[in-house]
Amino acid sequence: MIANKKIRNVSFYVFCVALICVAMIKPGLTQNRSAAAPQGRSGAEPCVSYQDDPDGCQPPTFATPTGQIPSRRVGASGKIDLKSSEADARAGAKIDEDELHLHRNFTHIHWVVTVPSVQDPATGNWTGGDLDAMGDGRGLGVAGNCVYTGHANGPGKKHDINIFKIQPDPEKNPPVQVGSIPAMFQGNDGFDDRELRSLVYKNAKGEDTQILVRNGGTESIGREMVYTIDMNTCLVKSISDITNFGGQSHEFFMWHDPTNEKRVIVYVTIYTPGIPDANFPGLVLPDLYVLAVTDESTGEVLQKPRVVGTFTLQDVGGPQLREKPDATGLFSDGRFLDFSGKKDLAGHPGNSVKTESNVMHSISVSNDGERAYVAGSSAGMYILNTEAIAHNKDVDLEAGKPCSTRSTIAAVNGVVNATKIPTIANDCVHMVVNDDPGLKAYLASPASTDAKILRYQTMLNRSRFDPYPPFVSSTFTHSAVIIPDRPAEVNGNTKNRPAYIWMADENGGCPLEYARIISVESEITPAMVGAFALPINVLDNCLNQPITEPDGQQLRRPIAQQNHNPTVFKNLVFNGWYGHGLRAIDISNPFTPREVGYFLPAPQGIIRTYPVFKDGLIYYNDNRSGLHVLRYTGPRANELPGPGTGTYEGNATSPHR
pLDDT (tens digit, 9 = 90+) per residue, 459-477? 999 999 999 999 999 899 9
Indicate whether 189 belongs to any domain: yes
- Report d(CA 481, CA 498) in Å as an integer: 10
pLDDT (tens digit, 9 = 90+) per residue, 9-65? 434 433 433 333 333 333 333 334 544 444 544 556 788 888 889 999 999 999 999
Q: Which of 269, 286, 312 is the last residue of a domain?
A: 312
Q: Which of 285, 312, 339 is the last residue of a domain?
A: 312
4 pLDDT exceeds 70? no
**pLDDT number for residue 389:** 98
Q: Are residues 384 and 525 both part of a single domain? A: yes
What is the span of the domain harbouring residue 497?
Answer: 320-600+630-657
Contact 378, 357 (CB under 8 A): yes
Maximal C-alpha separation, the chain: 100
262 pLDDT exceeds 60? yes
Q: Are residues 192 and 87 both part of a single domain? A: no
**pLDDT number for residue 2:** 42
573 pLDDT exceeds 50? yes
Indicate whether 410 belongs to any domain: yes
Mean pLDDT of the chain: 93
pLDDT (tens digit, 9 = 90+) per residue, 83-117? 999 999 999 999 999 999 999 999 999 999 999 99
306 pLDDT exceeds 80? yes
Q: Are residues 298 and 334 both part of a single domain? A: no
Mean pLDDT in residue range 225-239: 98
List, in order, residues 6 or more apart from 126 with CB less than 8 Å away: 73, 82, 83, 84, 89, 117, 118, 119, 120, 132
436 pLDDT exceeds 70? yes
**pLDDT number for residue 278:** 83
- Report d(CA 46, CA 40) in Å as an integer: 9
445 pLDDT exceeds 70? yes
Q: Are residues 474 and 550 both part of a single domain? A: yes
**pLDDT number for residue 23:** 38
Indicate whether 49 belongs to any domain: no
Strand locations in 175-287 (E): 176-181, 185-186, 189-190, 192-202, 208-217, 222-229, 236-239, 243-244, 249-256, 264-270
Indicate whether 605 belongs to any domain: no
274 pLDDT exceeds 70? yes
Instruction: Tell me 535's DSSP state.
Output: G
Neighbours of 169 (CB within 10 A): 7
**pLDDT number for residue 279:** 84
- Report d(CA 123, CA 139) in Å as an integer: 33
**Closest to 251 in 3D by CA, of 362, 394, 111:** 362
Q: Are residues 415 and 431 both part of a single domain? A: yes
- Whole-number percent of the chain with pLDDT over 70: 93
Q: Are residues 282 and 342 both part of a single domain? A: no
Return the SS3 of 315: helix
Q: Are residues 212 and 125 both part of a single domain? A: no
pLDDT (tens digit, 9 = 90+) per residue, 167-178? 999 999 999 999
Instruction: Tell me 96's DSSP state.
Output: H
- Report d(CA 444, CA 211) in Å as an integer: 47
- Report d(CA 1, CA 4) in Å as an integer: 5
Indicate whether 580 belongs to any domain: yes
**Closest to 74 in 3D by CA, of 32, 130, 122, 137:** 130
Q: Are residues 183 and 84 both part of a single domain? A: no
**Closest to 302 in 3D by CA, of 270, 246, 342, 264:** 264
6 vs 176, more confident: 176
Contact 644, 615 (CB under 8 A): yes
- Report d(CA 109, CA 256) in Å as an integer: 31
Distances (CA, A) of 637 to 13, 49, 596, 632: 48, 19, 10, 6
Looking at the structure of the chain, the number of domains it has is: 3
Q: Are residues 443 and 522 both part of a single domain? A: yes
> Which stretch of DSSP H or E encloses residue 292?
strand 288-294
**Closest to 262 in 3D by CA, of 197, 204, 198, 307:** 204
Neighbours of 101 (CB within 10 A): 18
Mean pLDDT in residue range 237-243: 97
Q: Are residues 577 and 652 both part of a single domain? A: yes
User: Burial of 452 by CB count in 10 Å (0-12 exposed, 13-18 middle, 19+ buried)?
Assistant: buried
252 vs 39, more confident: 252
Residues in the chain: 657
Q: Are residues 423 and 464 both part of a single domain? A: yes
**pLDDT number for residue 47:** 86
**pLDDT number for residue 43:** 56
**pLDDT number for residue 10:** 39
Cα 295 from chain centroid? Answer: 30
Neighbours of 83 (CB within 10 A): 14
Instruction: Tell me 154's DSSP state.
Output: B
Q: Which amino acid is at 304?
A: K
Q: Are residues 344 and 305 both part of a single domain? A: no
First to last CA, the chain: 78
Indicate whether 162 belongs to any domain: yes
Indicate whether 38 belongs to any domain: no
73 pLDDT exceeds 70? yes
**Closest to 513 in 3D by CA, of 609, 377, 606, 612:** 377
> Which stretch of DSSP H or E encloses residue 90?
helix 86-99
List, in order, residues 6 or more apart from 555 with CB less than 8 Å away: 547, 548, 549
Whole-model pTM over 0.75? yes
Helices and strands (DSSP H and E) totals, the chain: 8, 39
Q: Which of 312, 329, 361 is the last residue of a domain?
A: 312
**Closest to 527 in 3D by CA, of 494, 562, 563, 503:** 503
Indicate whether 558 belongs to any domain: yes
**pLDDT number for residue 32:** 45
Q: State the Rg of the chain over Cα.
A: 26
**Closest to 533 in 3D by CA, of 583, 482, 494, 461:** 583
Strand locations in 536-615 (E): 566-568, 572-576, 582-586, 594-599, 612-614
Q: Which amino acid is at 316?
A: V
- Report d(CA 218, CA 155) in Å as an integer: 10
